[in-house]
Structure 1
Amino acid sequence: MRLFLAIQLSPAVREALLTAQADLRRQGRGSFPPPENLHLTLAFLGETADLPGARAALNAAACRPFTLAVGGPPGHFGDLWWAGVRGDPALEDLALSLQADLRARGFRLEDRPFRPHITLVRRWRGEAPQVTVPHASMVVRRISLLRSDLTDGKRIYTELSNKSLR
């Protein structure tokens, strides 16, 4: 099973990202995540059979609801273009505490700094795009444990568990 912990997005934030994706499509080509797959990853667990351990880490998460906002020019890692995310310090604290808990439970996570972003397009082909992500925000009230499956060449994400933030 391929698992990750994530924040699923509100309709307003998703719409802002879809607007940016439409602008990107007019300027080049690439692999665009479908609307239902747009999310912010907190921790990528990869291939694992330890669903109980993943659920335990999710359930142990402690965080108050917080605001997450997108907007402005996108960034990129090579040919992957993304929308930057502004949140209060609770976002980074949540991600880092989840990652530490998962490592303590024996999960092997990538060892790189947490840089919150939402993927707009992978394998971008075209000039550097002239795009601005419209400003939108949401209050994050829950986090999700998602499974990623490849079906007929498409990524399908299924929520296995979630936890409300209090």
Structure 2
Amino acid sequence: METKHHYFFAVKLPKEMKDFLNGWIQSNQRDYEFGRWVHPEDYHITLAFLGYAEEKKLQDAIETMSSVLSDLSSFSLTLDKLGIFGPMKSPRIFWAGVVESEPLAEVQKKVFTQCLKLGFELDKKPFRPHITLARKYKGERFFNSEKLKSIRTEDHQTFEFEVSEVILYETHLDQSPKYKEFARFPLNAKNT
């Protein structure tokens, strides 16, 4: 039986950002009792989740996305605070957020709008940029919201990183890491 993969557009995180987050998790994981931790190679910020995609629509998305993003330049994001999705007592998702960013909102709007134009059915919830770190809270006590602090470097500085491309990922649930790059869409280099 043929496996049907799911697809999504996302901001690719640079290696130094993935390494930083993974290091932070290695140091702090015991304080956050979640059942499934995300593989560091799978860290990303989702822009539009397509789900299963017909090949024609997928090809249309690949062929048009470069021109949709052609006027956008790379930009910086700053890692912010931790958050959760789901009930406070027993959250489903544990994530790291980024400081609000106009360039990120613009990239997401352009990707999302183009996917709608191509006929994809997308989740209409407001965009909440985040990097999923773990799933399924397993603590014996209710989750402690005081643990949702800001993520900082060892010397208490914020961590800033560069966003230079959007990726169309393909999901392979039976593998780890489970997200494979299917198509790349570089943003223009920053004007200095």
2:10/2:46 contact within 8 Å kept: yes
Structure showing the higher strand proportion among its residues: 1
After TM superposition, the structure 1 = structure 2 runs for residues 25-64 of structure 1, keeping only pairs within 5 Å, are: 25-27=29-31, 28-49=33-54, 50-62=57-69, 63-64=72-73
Q: Relative to 1, partners in 2 of residues 1:24 and 1:17: Cα closer, same or farther, differing over 3 Å? A: same
**2:171 counterpart of 1:158:** no
Cα distance in 1 between the residues matched to 2:101 and 2:24: 23
**2:151 counterpart of 1:128:** no
**2:149 counterpart of 1:142:** no
Cα distance in 2 between the residues matched to 1:164 and 1:83: 24
- For the aligned residue pairs, the C-alpha RMSD in angstroms reads 1.9
**2:107 counterpart of 1:94:** yes
Deviation at 1:155, TM superposition (A): 5.7
Range 40-49 or range 120-129, more displaced = 120-129
Tell which structure's C-alpha radius of gyration is larger: 2
TM-score, normalised by the number of residues in structure 2: 0.77
Corresponding residue SS for 1:144: strand
1:67/1:87 contact within 8 Å kept: no
**2:12 counterpart of 1:8:** yes
What one-letter code is carried by the residue in structure 1 that aligns with 2:130?
Answer: H
What one-letter code is carried by the residue in structure 1 that aligns with 2:41?
Answer: E
User: Identical aligned pairs, as a percentage?
Assistant: 28
2:97/2:131 contact within 8 Å kept: yes
What one-letter code is carried by the residue in structure 2 that aligns with 1:128?
Answer: N
Aligned length: 164
After the TM superposition, list the runs of 4 or more consecutive aligned residues in structure 1 that deviate by more than 4 angstroms: none
2:96/2:130 contact within 8 Å kept: yes
Deviation digits for residues 50-74 of structure 1 (CA, Å, limit 9, x no counterpart): 3202213422332111111213x30
